[in-house]
Structure 1
Amino acid sequence: MSITGKLFGRGDPEGREGPGTDTTVSRQAVSLAQQGRFGEAIGCFDRVLEEDPTNVKMWNNKGVFLDLIGRDQDALVCWERALSIDPGFAPAWVSRGMLHRRRNRFEEALACYDRALELNPDSAVAWYNRSGIFVAMHRLDDAVACYERVLSIDPHFVAAWTDLGYAHFLRHRHEEAVTCYDRAIADDPGSVRVWSLKGGALYALGEYRKALECFDRVLAIDPKYAAGWSMKCSVLYHLGMYRHALACADKALEINPGCELTTQVRKMLLSLIQKW
């Protein structure tokens, strides 16, 4: 999840934006963090909190940034402060859950998400993060149920469609996976990840021509995506187009020379071509 996706809280009244609004301050902080200037990013929240020490969203977001730089205890203090001001502020529990998730403390993370959902049962973000825990615990049925709950709340939650598709893929329900990826693509047609996953599901179904179309789309979006060239190489191999597959393998290795699997595939292709 992006830095922006980690920021939660109540929006500014009527979508208002200006130099002092929570939204603007958070965007400034994100911009600084993306430049590696986390100290300055946290300073954005501190300046707001000096004037408005009861701003729970700023306490939450400051905690998120402290978590990102590994200052766990300081982050937890921020979330505790937010909850002491507003015990019903569910985003603070979501943020705590994300910290535990990154430390592979799954039960602690689930407890946080459950608390967030007690406070706000219609939080798509909390349901989505909860589903990720179940995937990590290999409880795919529970994960699928959570993703479906997310999408009942927000049918345009692209990440949920994508991850629901992958959960179906892991359960070998490839056609259902493709359907989910199509829903994600409808809202985000430029996603390399979703097109790649759709191509992988079609490949597993033996739909090589359709898979090839997906990987071509991937490479049209990002021609330097080495995995895209490798996947296209695999599809062309299954279609018996060995010389074209070899060209894709060469392109993949030009971008990522260290890929051992592609190197092995290239050797196999050379052997096949030489036998002709």
Structure 2
Amino acid sequence: MEFSQDENNNLPLTKFESMLKTNHVLFFDSEEFENIIHHYLNQGKIALAKKAIKLGLDQHPTSVNLRLFKVEVYVFENKLIEADTLLNELYNLDPMNEEIYIQKANIFSKKDEHQQAIDVLKRALDLTDDVVDLYSLIGMEYLFLDEFEKAKECFMKCLEEDLDDYSALYNIIYCFDFLNQNEEAIDYLTVFLDKNPYCEVAWHQLGKQYYNLKNYKKALAAYDFAIISDDTFVGAYLERGKVLEKLKRFNEAIENYTITLELDDPTSFALLRIGNCHEKLQNDELAVQYYYKTVHEDPLLDKGWIAITRFYNKKRNYEKALYYINKAINIDSENVVYWKLYAQINHRLNFLEEAERGYKKALELGNYELNTWLSRGDILIKLGEPEAAIYNFEQAIEFYPENSEIEYRLAGLYFSLNENDKGIFYLKNGIDHNEDYAFIIEELFPEIANKILVKNILKTNQ
């Protein structure tokens, strides 16, 4: 039983907390202690729960339920040996108590012995008429083992017992999604909705399945039914907006996203989508306004900063684009997309040193796209840093072996440093792998292209 704020049900709790303050020991029956402990555990107040367990056992030393709470705290504190020892004692006293099996399974689960946990929980099924919680626990253990079919079966049994068990419904759909069983999920949800036609969660999930299959017409219909079932269901309006965007019905999408702002606190996702729709409709001023609202609502949402930066980038207003990407980097300096945009914008502004810094940082953060290596290397060539450019391209060729675009660049760089043997090696490799990129030599290294040695190699292989 949970204590209420406005009923006499919370009297034992008030009495208990008063006792702690005065140090006057008062008597509680074991059920009152159980409710007090349960309350504190639900609130995450472990220290108070432990005090209640100690006082409870002082007054009721033979209570199995109070000792089970002690086991629960042991498990929470990862004192698994103590928990197991106490459980064995309790099993000898009350072998038909299902909670003993649940806590035993909890210990196995904590030790990553999930199959043993399942075996114990299955034994507990024979001891109770209330099987929903047990099937839910077994399902979770199967999820730990990546046995999604078996997990799905368990959660389905939960839903058979209780049609309002939305947690089980979400877990069922999670299993379908993981197994890429969109059609099977649709069949299951359709049967479920025949029994429970006003379940907004099921309609919402059905819409998502149709959306994944790109059947936007049926997805839209499912979200309509979700909204009919609950016209305050924010998630349905958001998903409906996404479908309308796919159908290029941007004004209607804006309407749906706007409803979510009225129903609940504004979300950065809705604000961003509204901005994106306005941009598609070429309502530039409104688009920018909503992008501003997005980053104001959630400065850590990278998609907001990326949207506003790309907006100005497309408009060729590179100074503003740079201003916003700098703000984004100041908030999160480890975001690789920010650094890539920073590099590209500086490159367009011909701020070569800043652009090179951006590409270098993007590489350090794991952006190993070919274009990143090539762009950085070409900037280093322009900055007159051939050794750094060579090091960059030699790293690149480890990720893209036999790539002629890299090999021609390395050839030109080695010839420019009078390391002709290496220049010849990479030039011949470049020609072998793709002679069409030979123009790179003339474009990036015009003085090298005029060397007789280079001309002869190129002519020989034409």
TM-score after normalising by structure 2: 0.47
Match of 1:9 in 2: none
Residues in 1 aligned to 2:256 and 2:146: alpha-carbon distance in whole angstroms: 35
The CA RMSD over aligned residues, in Å, is: 3.8
Which string of whole-angstrom CA distances, capped at 9 and with x for unpartnered residues, describes residues 14-38 of structure 1?
A: 9x99599x9xx99xx99997x7846
2:343 aligned residue: 233
Deviation at 1:243, TM superposition (A): 1.3
Aligned residue in 1 for 2:66: none
- Summarize deviations over 1:12-68 as a string: whole Å, max 9, x none: x99x99599x9xx99xx99997x7846386477357447x43335245313421331
- 3-state SS, counterpart of residue 88 of structure 1: coil
1:232 Cα offset (Å): 0.3
The reply to whether residue 127 of structure 1 matches residue 250 of structure 2 is no
> Is the aligned partner of 1:112 residue 2:222?
yes
- 1:195-234 to 2 correspondence within 5 Å? 195-234=305-344
- Matching residue within 254, 257, 265 for 2:368: 257
**Mapped pair 1:57 → 2:173:** no
Deviation at 1:159, TM superposition (A): 1.1
For residues 278 and 298 of structure 2, the distance between their equivalents in structure 1, rounded to whole angstroms, comes to 20
209, 213, 230: which one aligns with 1:103? 213
Q: Contact conserved, 2:156 with 2:172, CA < 8 A, in 1?
A: no
2:270 corresponding residue in structure 1: 160
Which position in structure 1 is the counterpart of 2:177? 68
Task: Using the TM superposition, give the Cα deviation of residue 186 of structure 1 relative to its aligned residue in structure 2, in angstroms.
Answer: 3.0
Q: Which residue of 1 aligns with 2:397?
A: none
Distance verdict in 2 for CA 1:121–1:202, change over 3 Å: same
- C-alpha distance in structure 2 between counterparts of 1:30 and 1:259, whole Å: 42
Return the alpha-carbon distance in structure 2 between the equivalents of residues 116 and 217 of structure 1.
Answer: 40
Instruction: Note if contact 1:249-1:265 (Cα within 8 Å) is conserved in structure 2.
Output: yes
Q: Which has the larger radius of gyration?
A: 2
Distance in 2 between residues matched to 1:165 and 1:30, nearest whole Å: 40
The residue type paired with residue 216 of structure 2 is F
Distance change in 2, residues 1:108/1:38 (3 Å)? farther
Preserved contact between residue 127 and residue 146 of structure 1 (Cα < 8 Å): yes
* Residues 162 and 184 in structure 1, CA contact (< 8 A), matched pair in contact too: yes
Is the 8 Å Cα contact of residues 208 and 239 (structure 1) preserved in structure 2? yes
Cα distance change of structure 1 residues 30 and 201 upon mapping to structure 2, 3 Å threshold: farther
159-168 or 178-187: bigger deviation: 178-187
**In the TM superposition, what is the alpha-carbon distance from 1:195 to its structure 2 partner?**
1.6
CA distance 1:76–1:67, change in 2 (3 Å): same
* Structure 1 residues 268 and 219: alpha-carbon distance in aligned structure 2, compared to 1, 3 A threshold: same
Task: Give, as a single letter, the amino acid of the residue that structure 2 aligns with 1:171.
Answer: L
Deviation at 1:134, TM superposition (A): 1.9
Please state if 1:177 is matched with 2:287.
yes
Report the residue type matching 2:166 in the other structure.
Answer: K
- Match of residue 187, structure 1, among 297, 303, 321: 297
Task: Write the distance in 2 (CA, Å) between the matches of 1:169 and 1:36.
Answer: 46
Which runs of no fewer than 5 residues in structure 1 stay unpaired? 1-12
For the 8 Å contact 1:164–1:180, the answer to whether it is kept is yes
Task: Give the partner amino acid of 1:257.
Answer: Y
Instruction: Report the equivalent of 1:148.
Output: 258
How far apart, CA to CA, are the structure 1 residues paired with 2:266 and 2:289?
A: 14
Q: Deviations over 1:234-254 (max 9, x none)?
A: 222344321111221232244
Relative distance call for 1:196 and 1:153 in structure 2 (3 A) is same
Percent of aligned pairs with the same amino acid? 20
Secondary structure of 2:369's match? coil
- The answer to whether the aligner puts 1:89 opposite 2:199 as a matched pair is yes
Cα deviation, 1:69-120, whole Å, max 9, x if unaligned, reads 2223442354235424432112211111100111111111112112222222
Gap runs ≥5 in structure 2: 6-38, 43-101, 103-129, 385-443, 445-462
Cα distance 1:30–1:197, how it changes in 2: closer, same or farther (>3 A)? farther
- Range with greater deviation from structure 2 (230-239 or 40-49): 40-49
Work out the CA distance in 2 between the residues paired with 1:181 and 1:102: 27
Q: Structure 1 residues 30 and 191 mapped into 2: Cα distance closer, same or farther (>3 Å)?
A: farther
Q: Are the equivalent residues in 1 in contact too, given 2:159–2:165 (CA < 8 A)?
A: no
Quick one: distance in 1 between partners of 2:165 and 2:192? 5
Higher mean alpha-carbon deviation, 185-194 vs 208-217, is at: 208-217
Amino acid paired to 1:130: R
Greater RCO, CA 8 A, separation 6+: 1
